[in-house]
Homo-oligomer: A and B are copies of this chain.
Amino acid sequence: MKAVYTEHHRAHDVADEVYLGVAIPAHEVVQRAGIIRGALLADGGFELVDPTEHGELPILAVHDRGLLRFLEQAWSEVRRQALRRQSLVADTYPSRAMFEGLSEAALARLREPVAIGGRAGWWGLDSSNPIVPGTYEAARWAVDVALTAVDLVLDGERAVYGLCRPPGHHAARAMAAGYCFFNNAAIAAEAIARATGERVAILDLDYHHGNGTQQIFWRRGDVLYASLHADPARAYPFFLGYADEVGEGDGVGMNINLPLPAEIGDADYLAALDRALEAIADTPGSIVVVSLGFDTYRDDPMGDFALTRAGYAEAGRRVASLGRRLVILQEGGYHLPSLGKNAVAWLRGVEPVATARTMPRP
């Protein structure tokens, strides 16, 4: 299997995140991508491919230009405004309740502040998402990783893995959030939809609900979003991800949320996966974008699921059995000792041929 990877992700080197008001060591760290890359190389069944640059246009097909400009300018503004910080974390966010009673016209007149802390809040959701000097560079390359995986699949590959870092699925049209700046999976799906004219399905298997992907395609009839994730009543992103969120307008029925309980194991998880796969199978189209997270692992420090490596292999197998081409993009997963092996297990589930090729025969 081809796996798209670039060292540029290292530019997004975050030391701390702010969890419930307290700085803790960051979960979404540089080592994550290196560990997965190392495991792919050790396995031998993967061919690493460099991403190619795709420019701003595919991003602007999905995101507000202001978000892109903010991320591009953020660190130079931190310096210009003489903010003494190793990273930029907002403290004030445009909560809905602040604007209650404003008409659509009044809401449209709201404006991005000038103070860099206010700007970060304006384009943000949470304090777990620090911006560092290289965030924009890495986030742009993560998009290029995803779009290069799309190119390869459009060129005929059956399944390609994009080792995106930073991840993307929490980023909405006009919002960065939860370790995510640009929504790699949404940008990939949009690029596929435009290139093929087909319907596209996104299968989100990260522990957390992909609120950003849901938001971007909420009213779209041509992109199916199906997500298995922790019930938002107990887990980030808290405010979206319930089963009754089914899309609106043209998108009615094209948003499928399967919130799951704590301690869920392989069997129940795979049963939920089958429900999502059936919905995808019922929808026309030949390509599926997979938002793949390993924070569903039983030892993950952020999650409370109890999946095993064998479960990942089986999940990959079942996704592959859809018979559709796959653009598999990395989202979360924070248990460093297991991350590489879990990725290999899942991807080998998709493409056992590669495994056979690399296993010595007697």
Known: A98-B211, A125-B93, A172-B97. A21 touches B23 (CB 8 A): yes
DSSP class of A's interface residues: helix, strand, loop or mixed? loop
Check B238–A122 contact: CB distance below 8 A. yes
The distance from the CB of A38 to the nearest CB of chain B, in whole angstroms, is 31
Given the complex, which residues of B lie within 8 Å of A118, measured CB to CB? Answer: 232-234, 236, 238-239
Size band of the A side of the interface? 35 or more
Does B19 contact A91, Cβ atoms closer than 8 Å?
A: yes
Q: A106-B248, A233-B115 are in contact. Are A219 and B101 (CB under 8 A)?
A: yes
CA of A92 to CA of B127 in the docked complex: distance in angstroms? 7
Q: Are A98 and B113 in contact (CB under 8 A)?
A: no
* Residue in contact with A106 in the complex, picked from B23, B172, B234, B245, CB distance below 8 Å: B245
Stretch at the interface among A173-181, A287-295, A331-339: A173-181
The number of times this chain is found in the oligomer is: 2
Residues of B within 8 A of A239 (CB): 92, 94, 98-99, 110, 113, 118, 121-122
Does A89 reach chain B (CB closer than 8 Å)?
yes
Cβ of A152 within 8 Å of any chain B Cβ, yes or no, is no
Chain A window 205-223, contacts with chain B (Cβ cutoff 8 Å), 1 for yes, 0 for no: 0000001000100110000
Is the pair A23, B20 in contact by a Cβ cutoff of 8 Å? no
Per the bound structure, the CA–CA distance linking A211 and B314 in Å amounts to 53
Known A-B contacts A92-B126, A127-B127, A233-B114; A98 and B21 likewise in contact (beta carbons under 8 Å): no
Report yes or no: A20 in contact with B90, Cβ–Cβ below 8 A. Answer: yes
Q: Is A235 an interface residue (CB 8 A)?
A: yes
Interface set, chain A 98-131, CB cutoff 8 A to B? 98-103, 106-107, 109-111, 113-115, 117-118, 121-128, 130
Tell whether A357 is near chain B: CB-to-CB under 8 Å.
Answer: no
Q: Is A155 an interface residue (CB 8 A)?
A: no
Task: Report if A69 contacts B (CB, 8 A).
Answer: no
A95 and B175 within 8 A (CB): yes
- Report yes or no: B98 in contact with A125, Cβ–Cβ below 8 A: yes
**14 other A-B residue contacts (CB within 8 Å) besides A97-B125, A111-B242:** A18-B21, A18-B91, A20-B91, A21-B85, A91-B127, A92-B178, A92-B236, A95-B124, A97-B215, A98-B237, A101-B215, A110-B240, A114-B233, A115-B238
The 6 closest A-B pairs by CB, nearest first: A21-B89, A118-B238, A97-B175, A93-B93, A92-B126, A114-B233
